[in-house]
Structure 1
């Protein structure tokens, strides 16, 4: 890179008196100590490094960055420290509203380095202590009927901020997409120099009016002085398509539907008592014939007594506790105005799939409309505190408080079914950065909210523009949003996308803020809100490169869960990242081996590091942390609530599609159904948190699509009438799937791989029995590390009786005192997972002479085969049919 380039930002202003210069930024052939360093400033931009209007001297200290600065910025710990004197440091706030650059000159006075600076550190140093305590966005004060709004925005580097206010308010009968027209009223905002916030208080007449922020910036690096318009990053209401913020009072009774207002939140449950169902708002009801057409796929879909509502009610009745909704915050990837959306013709798609279930025309039609259709997973954040408008029932319903009311209606309907509501949260990235269309954060504070690389470019390891929640005001956005959705929407939990790109401190800050919410003061008990997420370790933050990450094995004591890919891969086989999905068979896909058995046993025991058993692979004693998962320990948790066990999710192939890809094509349908139930049993009967992808219980397919985020309604089809499981809708869209088409085509064309309604009904009913087992047998949910270590064992593993395709888990409660016994009816539970297609008889060491019986749920359940399970008390021997999860109990 050219050493004189202000479009790069290779230095870091970390504290008002401290600039960090990485050694890699020092020009070749020079040493930092031999150069003269200055901070060049241009109050109105247009900085010319060769003729800067003002330069402030910097002094170079010996050694690296001082503590605790180095601890806060570990990737810069070895950088050269450059210091401003007290006079210069006192001007930091003023200087940051203009253009700043670091200049380095050699002994002859020649300029050898000119670079812009990354400024999040100094902005936090100057403002965060006070700004994090401010109420940002719109706050309301005054008695009911006379409330007035105050708008506050944190914009410390702006030279001036105005609020632009539009007069027109659309009526409730206006179903058109509406955006304010005409010229706005310009209302100056007042700056608070202590915290860098700008604010203005309006009148009661501002209610429901649209507004924008207009900020005068000197844009970093370019040095341009320009006026920028933006929506409010802390918006709680928006116009259609998010063109403007709306002054919505969330306490206004107009936006509080009766079912949300009057239905109590389901009673709190322990983290390990959760049985979670991951669903997409649109998926749930868009194919529901019992739902009015205008409500299908919307927030209001479950307000109808359709098949989706009845299906969720059946799941809840069997023991499902929670519905996890894919993103419902305002996102960029879906057009909100139904009149502007484009959809592939459904009748044509259905005809093509009847004629050519492995054809390419279907995916071509879907892809042609992918940027304008109504479907996307939604991992494209725009405004974090406002519901997504495309889930409203019309363009008009997406305006202002109306979308708030409809989102609350959905929460209320789920609560009415006895189901807790978990929201998918995405604070690791945004769709845009800098001054692009949806870059609401950078428009307000350029260069602050995103994580930058060594040259000052936005990091994109998440495949989008990475957010930097290690910056304190970005963490505040995350915390404020989590608090708002609990207080104002009464949600019960969060799943964090790519949680490993956040720090443990971020998650602890969210946890502390939620724990402070009380029924008396806030109407909710924040301590009952559960947190979990994707604890993957990759990208520029990997290995705690920038902070202690919120990843697997680093959340001890927080009560925050992470997804357990170890159990998933042991059950499915291979890895979700395999180029060839047909290789790498697992416990439920016909390739159980001793390594999978050990990994599965660790997962069944809640993923604990310290769970001890005889390894099936080696026959020697082993602990969970000593069982290998690639180069990592299989057991990583110290407590079972830190582990979310699953075998499929919205990402990657569905469980059914995995079975299609991995099993021989000639595998009978009855065997496929049993293997699907067996896979779900490994999750549902485990000591961790149980997590299902919506439709796994009814053999849902996405026509083999492994990444269906933009594959439209067609490939994401979810028909709860059970006429169609979604298989054979054509070859899936080419991105992420094209190299697999040669292996997919003969499968999709094979009608014998499409389950019948009876097959799906049997799978559903067997899955309901699994939920009932988890609900009715508290020994499957011990909930405490000490209990699991003391009471859970795998008595057959590693013994002469052991075999890799059979797992036997004993949960023994005989030693518990009456007051400590979890189940007064049973003193033990024996789970036998037989992945062999043949009946297996196993002697279980230590159980000779004991009386065990098949669980009452399975005696009365949907599976005729499991009732063939037999127990011989004398030798302590159990016989279990092939491809069966059997649960036996010992009477107390």
Structure 2
């Protein structure tokens, strides 16, 4: 993912005070006063939350926040509380209705606490008295401050407290058993909200069909009933069906230290009015919301997760420019049920072997107006500017914040479909967007394709009192991950959520199950999955496994899961929990993206200052582009050997326990011993735990990477061949194969490396195959300006713009790759044992090895046979600009022939590949991948 458009978040009110207060007691506001001797040089700031309230009788205090030279035994701590806020200070004292002494515990925090909260390992334990512990639930509804006094009773520190752990201790065991949002019984709805720190919750309802902005004064007000588990509920009449509603919550705002009344949508909203101003009471089982095709069409079944061949697609991209789609359906859910160029192309891919479409975020987001009349268009004739002009991106920036396009990684409501993809503003209102979303799913199923939804539970678009904030206005300070000072962490880009907290974990699990059960989708991709724990991902898996065809209309065990297993931020290296990151999901059948093969195929990395660093499929060592980033010839040759190892390992499913002779060292080496930027390259226990890819929505498209890295004089026909060669490393990998939409069509985003908010113009996806999107101007300056000096001469070169016949040739070659992958189970063995038994790289690290060439053998005579037609396969990847003779040790005297798929395919060059039986050697044309088969 990439950062969504910036969202204005209200700054917290500063409550910092240093020095001596005035004689009169007053609120803790930002008033600078003269230094005095009555306080030490500590931190008096209630806008922070350095203390952590762990359990009713236990708090944690950071050891590094002690006065210099003092031991804990000589210090004094107190917790102060005020039911309605307004804590003030007089001298060394905080003025609050109640204060409780806290006792330092020499034994430290219990092991159970440190197991659950490992980031508290350097914290002190403070014991709370019974009078505090028994009133914890009530105290948590008000303002809380914790003070530290030195051995002379001087106030050293005053801070707030992080409350999520104690809320979980008090309420989670029972609260997680509830169903939240709207549930139905005998035709009547019950609405339930978890708000344990609220003083009062009132349900505001407006009749079905009323204006989305109807005044609050016209709402019917229903007092909600609190429960001891921290939830509030109200049961309504039958007439509440399709009613609009908000929760009105009286809750303490930690930023101001005062009670405020928030009117907020339901975190469990499943339907909304346009622009998410009100939640809507809907019954997801209502037959009126079930299109016939959605009910009847069935997706293809998979035997194993490695059977997936995935196409990553943005909903708007799919049809925004498709002239065969009705105008009011373009860029919407309904286009997937139309007979446009996109549907025709997806069906052609499905016929070749593609079986899964991965949709970028389709839940409710903040970044796109759902009222169609509010969506703006660039006020320029973009086609009038030169291919290398700055003007296109300059014009687009005028409307980028209000146009119809965004990737959608800015979550607003996790359980509701996004309204901007509805066919009209009216159909974005309430339940109709649900029906249209299901129409999309039904259309894809009818095209022979499974549906994977991109889920973004790692952050929200806003927090605090900002308008798009929901969770933090219901239970302030609970749903987001805080740093040591109580500030919300933003390592993901935005307001990081804390799925390690029980009710955020539940929200993630419940939302995922809802999409599976109520929309019949077939898989999920988790954005920045490494910011979630392994236990959370296992909880998702367990909950999905409970879904059955008989009870739920879907087999949850068949649902596939994968995500971004990156290790960074405040959770890095398991700082908060065992992360769902690369190498830590063994045995879960949850996959992570394999960046090792991606970088080796493309060359360099996504954040290189010089984007011309070459790789296996971009001319490294054998067709240098002249960039100094590639090093001298010796350095290039050495890097090519290492990148060959990374690709070979990726072809073997990136297994940590797979051993092969290294091209770099010539010695047998286990995958876990191959280096990738100082980390083990091999990390998977099973091949289904890796997603093999060479491009995705993030970073430059494959075509654009080739454009930047190949020598500028490379012919278009050779660029197509290298595109096919790069895609073949995913198609013939034992992992899950993944392509970015349009990778088969030479798709370009005019070299844009982060097109999340670059509009329809730079995100063009033309399934009519007339325009690949290259040369539409310099990409937006925000993420690309540093690369403009490299990009401008390329965009100006007309030789680099594919013609329609070039796009068609690339598409046909890519479909042959799909046919090959799905022609035999040997490319999808599914188990580490089978891969270790059958897959080898006979020439690697031997005198037979040819630089820039990989020879992969799949021998079905070893281990239990999996293909009744074939004894084996030899695949030769020739990335060099010359034909090669590649001997395959151990194959002398064995018969093989070019695959019938390639022999009858659309590429005349690969048909020249031959097999020398006597020598056991393949003759393969330049920049070609050839598949030789051995029949039984």
State the TM bucket, normalised to the shorter chain: over 0.9
Structure 1 residue 153 corresponds to structure 2 residue 188: no
Q: CA deviation at 1:851?
A: 0.9
CA shift, 1:5, in A, is 1.0
Shift of 1:100: 1.2
Pair 1:369-2:413 in alignment:
no
- CA contact 2:336–2:343 (8 Å) conserved in 1: yes
Conserved? CA contact 1:71–1:77, under 8 Å: no
2:579 is paired with a residue of what secondary structure? coil
**Residue 99 (str. 1) matches residue 143 (str. 2):** yes
- What is the aligned partner in structure 2 of residue 511 from structure 1? 541
Match of 2:446 in 1: 416
In 2, Cα distance between equivalents of 1:5 and 1:449 = 22
- 2:854 aligns to what? 807
1:741 pairs with one of 764, 775, 788: 788
Q: Please say if 1:34 is aligned against 2:74.
A: yes
The CA distance in 2 between the partners of 1:589 and 1:152, in whole Å, is: 60
Q: Deviations over 1:120-178 (max 9, x none)?
A: 00000011111111000000111xxxx111000000000000000112515xxxxxx94
* Structure 1 residue 450 corresponds to structure 2 residue 494: no
The alpha carbon displacement at 1:797 in A equals 0.3
1:208, 1:246 within 8 Å by CA — same for their partners in 2?
yes
**What do residues 621-653 of structure 1 show as CA deviations (whole Å, max 9, x unaligned)?**
111111111101111111001100000000000
Deviation (angstroms), 1:345: 4.7
In the aligned structure 1, how far is the partner of 2:213 from the partner of 2:877? Answer: 58
What's the CA shift for 1:591? 4.0
Q: 2:721 aligns with which of 643, 665, 674?
A: 674
Number of the residue aligned with 2:501: 471
Residue-by-residue CA offset, 1:441-476 (whole Å, 9 max, x unaligned): 001000000011111111011111111111110000
Q: Distance in 2 between matches of 1:54 and 1:544?
A: 38
Runs of 4+ that moved beyond 6 A:
none
User: How many Å separate the matches in 1 of 2:612 and 2:561?
Assistant: 34
Aligned to 1:351: 384
Q: CA shift at 1:251, angstroms?
A: 0.8
User: Is structure 2 residue 210 aligned with structure 1 residue 164?
Assistant: no
- Work out whether 1:620 is the aligned partner of 2:654: no
1:173 counterpart residue number: none
**SS of match in other structure, 1:850:** coil
TM-score by length of 2: 0.92
Residue of structure 2 equivalent to 1:864: 908
Aligned partner of 1:557 in structure 2 is 587
How far residue 385 of structure 1 moved from its aligned partner, in angstroms, is 0.1
Measure the CA separation in 2 of the matches of 1:25 and 1:10: 9
Judge which range, 213-222 or 357-366, deviates more.
213-222
Q: Secondary structure at the match of 2:133?
A: helix
**Counterpart in 2 of 1:332?**
366
Alpha-carbon separation, structure 2, partners of 1:614 and 1:590: 21
- Counterpart of 2:48? 8
| 1:509-588 correspondence to structure 2 within 5 Å | 509-588=539-618
Partner of 2:877: 833
**Residue 769 of structure 2, aligned match among 704, 722, 726:** 722
Alpha carbons of structure 1 residues 133 and 779: separation in structure 2 relative to 1, 3 Å: same
1:730 to partner: Cα distance: 0.5
Tell whether the 8 Å contact from 2:616 to 2:644 is kept in structure 1 after alignment: no
Q: Distance in 1 between matches of 2:128 and 2:645?
A: 58
Q: Please list the CA deviations of residues 367-392 of structure 1 after superposition, one character each: whole Å capped at 9, or x if unmatched.
A: 11000000000000000000000000
Asked whether the equivalents of residues 180 and 193 of structure 2 are also in contact (C-alpha less than 8 Å), the reply is yes
Map 1:819-830 to 2 at 5 A: 820-830=864-874
In 2, Cα distance between equivalents of 1:777 and 1:766 = 18
Paired residue for 2:704? 657
CA contact (8 A) 2:617 2:725 kept: no
Partner of residue 336, structure 2? 302
Give 1:218 deviation, angstroms.
1.6
The Cα of 1:243 is off from its aligned counterpart by 0.5
2:418 is matched with which residue: 354, 368, 388? Answer: 388
Matched, 1:785 2:832: yes
Native 8 Å contact 1:179 1:239 kept in 2 = no
Moved more, 32-41 or 100-109: 100-109
Please say which of residues 49-58 and 752-761 is displaced more in the overlay: 49-58
Tell me how far apart the structure 1 counterparts of residues 97 and 379 of structure 2 sit (CA, whole Å). 63
Instruction: Write the distance in 1 (CA, Å) between the matches of 2:483 and 2:621.
Output: 43
| Local SS of the residue matching 1:776 | coil
Distance 2:299 2:811 in 1: 27
Unaligned regions of 5+ residues in structure 2, if any?
1-15, 17-41, 623-639
- What pairs up with 1:283-294 in 2 under 5 angstroms? 283-294=317-328
Give the Cα separation in 1 of the matches to 2:265 and 2:127.
Answer: 37
Deviation string 1:858-888 (CA, Å, 9 cap, x unpaired) is: 1111111111111111121111111111111
CA deviations 1:412-469 (Å, max 9, x no partner) are 1000111000000001111101111111000100000001111111101111111111
Contact 1:168-1:180 within 8 A present in 2 as well: no
Checking the alignment, whether the CA contact within 8 Å between 1:332 and 1:381 is kept in structure 2 is: yes
* 1:48 counterpart residue number: 88
1:804 Cα shift? 2.6
Larger mean Cα displacement after TM superposition, 109-118 or 638-647: 109-118
Residue 65 of structure 1 is matched in structure 2 by 109
The CA distance in 1 between the partners of 2:81 and 2:621, in whole Å, is 66
The RMSD of aligned alpha carbons is 1.2
Q: How far off its partner does 1:78 sit?
A: 2.2
Q: In 1, distance between residues paired with 2:214 and 2:773?
A: 42
Q: Secondary structure at the match of 1:613?
A: strand
Structure 2 counterpart SS, 1:3: strand
Contact 2:692 2:735 in 1 (8 A): yes
Answer yes or no: is 1:76 the counterpart of 2:123.
no
The residue that corresponds to 1:756 in the other structure is: 803
Match of 1:598, SS state, is helix
Q: What is the TM-score when the length of structure 1 is the normalising length? A: 0.97
